[in-house]
């Protein structure tokens, strides 16, 4: 960052403005709004400047003495030598100087602003791209409408009362969030200021009632934060505590409210996880303290995520909950590998199956999975590739059926390996595929050759073997 952003208190302090034209006038207006005491130096000045008694005017050429007592100076003349002289004097005297539109000569710059006082948004590109700053300002102007200022003033009036009745910082923060996101803000936006005031009073009266904790079970998607839903984002921003799995990406966690507690209850493939009953206990403990708990899971919480069990436990104990679905790995990996999971010509249905090696893989309905014209998406299947191959072929799926292994789907590290059913174990080994990876079995897998669009091109087993 080239410039340090700050808002300066210029109330009653002297600011030197050199120049008396339209540009100087704009700066002076802003300075007066901020309560500065303006000394304006220029041989000629505009009528507005002339007629404004709050400004001290010297009809003079600039000289170094004009700096006496000034905390800031602005050079707004159309004479480059005068502007340079103001800048040089500022440097000598350690006074910050802005030469309008000349960042090389300026020791401070004046940002573009959206003024919803007391809310002020300042925008700067460090003088590099003023047009971009203006564009951003225009967007913010429409996004942050005038009601934000009214809302801020309303809260300013109520501030000490709110502080008095809600001495606890967290309670206060929650109160402000309710007010800013809820009915009070809506009423202000609709210009019903009296209604807003009544609603504020009512909300404040109820704010001290013990709060019921709750849990939101949120699907974090496969990793790319762009695949979160807006509801997931809102839940993350309102959370007091987040219990998340290991698979949830940092990119997603970074969107959570800064001061939310984060607890990783992740399960790694090799164990070392928080046991499920302990997760249940943690959910209860935090919710019972009146906190808003987000239980954040990779993909979708109801697809091989044990979300159902957690909700059963919460229901038993009377804790209210909500569920925000997420994009499950099969859907994300299909999309990001260029593999449509269904396709009129190749597959009429798709099955999501977990192929966690061990007993569960043997209890799968292999005859059904081996049927033609369907796609099978296998979660947690990397360790079970040999079993997947043997059973599917045993129950009639052709050994030549295309297969894709999608590792780290949708992330920068995504890899897609293409093979046939007969070859998947060898392909998985040769490519050293690791978790998380999803195995897609079915004719549609071959479409990745033509339809891939994200990350590196898929690697075909033929090529892997040739390279070996």
Chain residues in the site for ligand SAH (CB under 6 A)? 222-223, 247, 297-300, 303-305, 328-329, 333, 379-380, 406, 408-410, 435-438
Minimum CB–partner distance for residue 243 and ligand SAH (Å): 15
Look at residues 336, 340, 421, 342 and name the one whose alpha carbon lies nearest to residue 385. 421
- Alpha carbons within 13 angstroms on the beta-carbon side of residue 312 total 7
Give the single-character DSSP code of 357. T
Q: Which residues contact 337 (CB under 8 A, 6 or more apart)?
A: 404, 406, 409, 414, 416, 440, 448, 452, 454, 458
The residue at minimum Cβ distance from ligand SAH is 299
Smaller CB distance to ligand SAH: residue 297 or 313?
A: 297
Smaller CB distance to ligand SAH: residue 89 or 328?
A: 328
Minimum CB–partner distance for residue 17 and ligand SAH (Å): 58
Smaller CB distance to ligand SAH: residue 408 or 420?
A: 408
Smaller CB distance to ligand SAH: residue 17 or 296?
A: 296
Q: How far apart are CA 217 and CA 406, in angstroms?
A: 26
Q: How far apart are CA 297 and CA 266, in angstroms?
A: 9
Q: Which residues contact 464 (CB under 8 A, 6 or more apart)?
A: 417, 427, 430, 431
Look at residues 351, 363, 358 and name the one whose alpha carbon lies nearest to residue 444. 351
> Is residue 245 among the annotated active site residues?
yes
Smaller CB distance to ligand SAH: residue 19 or 384?
A: 384
Measured from the Cβ of residue 137, the count of other Cβ atoms closer than 10 Å reads 16
Active-site residue among 245, 362, 365, 426?
A: 245
Active-site residue among 101, 267, 390, 426?
A: 267
Helix (H) or strand (E) holding 313: helix 307-316
> Is residue 145 among the annotated active site residues?
no
Q: How far apart are CA 205 and CA 195, in angstroms?
A: 15
Minimum CB–partner distance for residue 414 and ligand SAH (Å): 7
Minimum CB–partner distance for residue 316 and ligand SAH (Å): 23
CB 101 within 8 A of CB 77: no
Minimum CB–partner distance for residue 246 and ligand SAH (Å): 10
Tokens 């998406």 appear where? 377
Query: Three-state DSSP class for 158?
Result: helix
Q: How far apart are CA 124 and CA 103, in angstroms?
A: 12
Look at residues 109, 104, 143, 106 and name the one whose alpha carbon lies nearest to residue 123. 109
Minimum CB–partner distance for residue 327 and ligand SAH (Å): 8
Smaller CB distance to ligand SAH: residue 116 or 244?
A: 244
Q: How far apart are CA 372 and CA 401, in angstroms?
A: 9
CB 215 within 8 A of CB 317: no
Smaller CB distance to ligand SAH: residue 150 or 411?
A: 411
Minimum CB–partner distance for residue 232 and ligand SAH (Å): 13
Active site residues: 245, 267
């Amino acid at each position: 960052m080239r410039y340090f952003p700050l808002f300066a208190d210029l109330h009653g302090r002297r600011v030197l403005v050199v120049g008396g034209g339209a540009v100087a006038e704009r700066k002076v207006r802003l300075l007066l709004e901020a309560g500065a005491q303006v000394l304006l130096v220029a041989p000629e000045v505009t009528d507005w400047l002339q007629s404004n008694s709050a400004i001290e005017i010297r009809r003079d050429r600039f000289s170094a003495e004009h700096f006496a007592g000034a905390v800031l100076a602005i050079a707004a003349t159309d004479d480059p030598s005068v502007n340079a002289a103001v800048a040089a004097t500022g440097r000598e005297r350690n006074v910050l100087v802005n030469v309008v539109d000349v960042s090389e000569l300026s020791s401070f710059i004046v940002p573009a602003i959206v003024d919803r006082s007391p809310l002020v948004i300042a925008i700067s590109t460090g003088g590099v791209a003023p047009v971009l700053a203006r564009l951003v300002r225009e967007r913010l102007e429409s996004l942050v409408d005038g009601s934000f200022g009214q809302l801020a003033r309303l809260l300013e009036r109520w501030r000490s009362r709110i502080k008095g009745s809600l001495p606890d910082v967290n309670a206060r923060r929650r109160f402000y969030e309710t007010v800013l996101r809820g009915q009070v803000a809506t009423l202000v936006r609709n210009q019903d200021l009296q209604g807003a005031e009544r609603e504020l009073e009512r909300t404040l009266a109820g704010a001290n009632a013990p709060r019921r904790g709750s849990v939101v079970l949120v699907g974090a998607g496969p990793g790319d934060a762009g695949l979160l839903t807006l509801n997931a984002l809102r839940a993350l921003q309102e959370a007091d505590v987040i219990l998340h799995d290991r698979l949830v990406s940092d990119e997603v966690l970074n969107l959570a409210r800064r001061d939310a507690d984060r607890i990783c209850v992740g399960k790694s493939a090799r164990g070392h996880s928080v046991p499920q009953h302990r997760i249940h206990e943690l959910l209860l403990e935090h919710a019972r303290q009146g906190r808003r708990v987000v239980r954040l899971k990779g993909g979708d919480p109801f697809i091989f995520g044990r979300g159902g069990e957690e909700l059963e436990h919460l229901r038993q104990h009377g804790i209210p909950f909500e569920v925000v679905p997420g994009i499950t790995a099969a859907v994300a990996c299909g999309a990001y590998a260029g593999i449509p999971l269904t396709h009129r010509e190749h597959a009429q249905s798709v099955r999501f199956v977990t192929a966690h090696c061990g007993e569960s893989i043997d209890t799968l309905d292999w005859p059904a999975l081996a049927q033609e014209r369907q796609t099978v998406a296998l979660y947690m299947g990397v360790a079970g590739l040999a079993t997947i191959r043997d059973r599917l072929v045993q129950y009639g799926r052709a050994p030549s059926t295309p297969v894709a292994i999608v590792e780290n789907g949708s992330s920068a590290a995504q890899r897609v390996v293409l093979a046939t059913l007969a070859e998947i174990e060898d392909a998985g080994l040769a490519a050293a595929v690791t978790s998380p990876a999803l195995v897609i079995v079915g004719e549609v897998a071959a479409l990745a050759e033509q339809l891939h669009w994200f990350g590196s091109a898929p690697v075909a087993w033929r090529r892997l073997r040739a390279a070996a």
